Homo-oligomer: A and B are copies of this chain.
Amino acid sequence: MTIPVAKVLAALLVEPDEQRYGLDLMRLTGLPSGTLYPVLHRLQGAGWLAADWEAIDPVAAGRPARRYYRLTAVGVTQARQALADLRAAIPDGRRSWGGTEPTGAPA
Contacts and interface: CB of A to CB of B under 8 A. Distances in A.
Interface of A: 1-3, 6-7, 9-11, 13-18, 27-30, 79-80, 83-84, 86-87, 89-97, 99-105
A94 B27 contact: no
Contacts of A1: 3
* Residues of A contacting B: mostly: loop
Nearest to A86: B90
Copies of this chain per assembly = 2
A3 B83 contact: no
Nearest to A94: B13
B94 A14 contact: yes
A94 to B, nearest CB: 7
B9 A101 contact: no
A92 to B, nearest CB: 5
